Structure 1
Amino acid sequence: MTRQRRKVLQRMSIRWRLALISLGVIALLLGAFGFIISFTAENALFTNEATALHNEGHLAMTVLKQHPLEIGRTPTDPQGTPPLNFKVLATILTQRLTSTSTDATVLSLQGNVIISGSDIPFSPPTLAVNPILVQQTLHTSQDNSTYLIKRDAQNERQLVIFMPIVSNHHTIGILQINTLTAPIDQFITTLRWILILGVLGSLSLAALLMFPLISAALHPLVAMEQTSRAIAAGNLSLRLQTLETDDEIGHMTSSFNDMVAQLETAFRRQKQLTADISHELRTPLTALRGSLEILLIGIERGDGTATRRLVSNMHEETERMQRMIDDLLILTRLDEGKAIIHLTATNIRTVVDKVYDQAQQLTRGQTIHCQISPDMPLVCVDPDRLQQVLLNITDNALKYTPADGHIDYVVRSEEADSVIIEVRDTGIGISAEAVPHVFDRFYRADPARTRHAQHVGGSGLGLAIAKELIEAQGGEILLHSTYSQGTTITIRLQAISAPEQPVEKVTQIIH
């Protein structure tokens, strides 16, 4: 049954669920409030009635002031023997207290009836109360408000009080006064109906006001649900209307729009990446196919030089595809948190010298200079990863620097705790609009199909990978570029003092 109710609730819209839960909470609070009012009112009326009956008993006892009788508070006095005229006095007392709504009875200490006022016409019937209960009530009574509620022979409720009769400091009897509670019951019944009608009216008014208010409050969520459906269908250009409210829904709307904008950008870049990779792979594959066809048909006619040239071109094209695949694999490992960084205390001059030597083999006429300040401190990096980053940056610089241009490596220390590596080129530069995005994944400043022949672009992954790797080593990478003048990429690394023991630390990149 509980599972079925849960399924029914799950099928309901959030508007109905909120309304039902809210109405349930309001009904519970109003019901509890009504119960407290009803219970408090009934208890107060019964207490007041009991106090009034005690006062009437004390007042009636003043008629017998010439006799040594009085009303005690509790039967703490020792039991005594009633005087010889006790029945006469008890008769006067009961007649004094008995009316059409009240009955008075004098009981012995054992709970037996001595004199009853029920013989008077139209008086309530006498209640027979268990003697043990009488004694318990007397002993627990601390004030004039203690009472019992009992039903008589006619099944009507009566309020009963007990008062000890004392003579010469001895308890000689018990005065029982009972009265019908019908007036109080009728008042409490009327009060309960008023409360019930008030609760129902309040719930009706709450329901009338609640549905429009909930609908208005959930309108942004409804719009978000409709927009998300359209986005799921492929329309990533849709956005939610921005709310000016500083609440959770307003924040969620803003976050939702930001999320969709990032998704749209990511899908657009991935689409562009697919086109770029297709274009990049088509070129080497076409060259490979052409070279293989030439070899197969034997156009080279046994010319060894031509054969070596064809095989060399094929090798270059396979290396180009391998570099692209390696970039994609590195990016995948970075995304999955599986890229391992081996941090060791490294002499920065060793790494830069290796990169400089390799860069000399990659030039297309450009001039390369290397300037390293003396007494450079050690840095805690992964030498292989840092060399990979510098070669990637150098490759980009060579692609976009003309043959008569130059590339400079500048390495210096800064503030005794940082090592700065700058790679400067005098190439075509990057436009101001593209600079903020150069480290974004899949971003390419020049479209794949409109490149200048000399400026062969990559897949848009190199600088993004460089940024991830440098930051994983506790460093920072920045780019400054002026269009048609050149680009400077700055890498800042943390310097360390010379360790007595070799420092080695393995770090796993986790996103």
Structure 2
Amino acid sequence: MFQSTRQRLALWYTGITAVFLLLFAASFYWYVQATLIERVDDTLGHVVEVVERSLVVDESLLDPQQARHSLEASFRDDPSTLEDDHIDLEWFGPQGELIWSTVPGGIPAPLLTDGSLHTARINPGYWLRQFTEPLLAGDTPLGYLRVSHPWFEVSKPTRQLIWDLSLWGVASLACVGSIGWVLSGLAMQPVRHSYQQLKQFTADASHELRSPLASIQTTVQVALADPQLEADTRQRWQVVERLSLRLGRLVDDLLFLARQDSGMAPFQPRCCAVDALLLQVVEELQGLAHRKGIRLSLEIADPSQLAPADPFGLWGDEDLLARLLTNLLENALLHTPVDGQVQVRLEQRLKAGSPDLLIQVRDTGTGIPPQALPHVFDRFYRVDPARSGDPDRVAGSGLGLAIVKSIAEQHQGQVKVESTLGKGSTFQVILPQRQTELCTPENL
């Protein structure tokens, strides 16, 4: 319980930190990319401005072909500077035809005259940032000037940034996860200490209550043994006896769970015949079922098709298994009305090549509300009779099913429940048959 709580706390620490790191990394990436794009755009704008200032076109040269030679000479005054800056220039005519370019044959990208700044894809993996400016000689259009800058000036730093942010984020999450694990352990220490004290108190209180309860039960039995006891007084003593027995059962359950939690409960595994054990438990509870008018039946599946010599042998603690079966059947009898049925079935299954025993207890009781199903194995949890639709429903102590789950888990098994309100419930106990080689007929 504490280990799973500690894990959840550490995961919450790491998850919340991951969200903040993701938001920070996304914001930082967007800021860096926007800054790089802005720098490229400023460079393109500056180049266009410099080129426009350097152009000298005689207005008498109205022939675009003559203007082209003038412009070409201006471009080639200092071409090395443009090559060092990785910038290419193109001049297009008024109709969009390529007149001159620093790239032989021109850049294979459409001329966009409606927007000055845009990003063009030349081929897969190669992009250009382009700036297009119309050229005018007075009111005479000479065409368009397009300046191109490689996009890798933006993409290369941003890819490296993504790689760096990913490594930094993973390292940060690993550190946060480790720190969260340590901090959650420190935070759980006071809770663990308080829980240990509570378990110790429960165990001590349960143990100390057993002696006075035994004295009360002895006194009640002596009083009831008096043949001259009046009927009214005898009835009152019987009520005291019934309540003392119920209280004694509650104390035993509390002591059992406290010892289970602290690891003090003895676990003495040996080879157990579950079918014989189930027959004994059903026989013991037949009297209770008869008094309540409930038909209690047992079915043991035919194991003839299964390989093991003893298909119902289980390596476990026989006393604990008997308590598991008793609690499960008593719970079914407790919540089944008169003229109801409780059906018990035992079978062996082969699941993924590994055998296990399935114990199924099905009753025709009032059922369990869907919202209560996840909590039926919690300690002291009892379904509200008003919610179950049966105001006369008898409620137990809320520890029987918790003990069933504890014993099943101690045998590496599990407990499941299915229920339909108003029709009944089905409890399933699955016990894996480990160390079956020790369960031979001679050991039973």
Name the TM-score, length of structure 1 as normaliser: 0.40
Name the TM-score, length of structure 2 as normaliser: 0.45
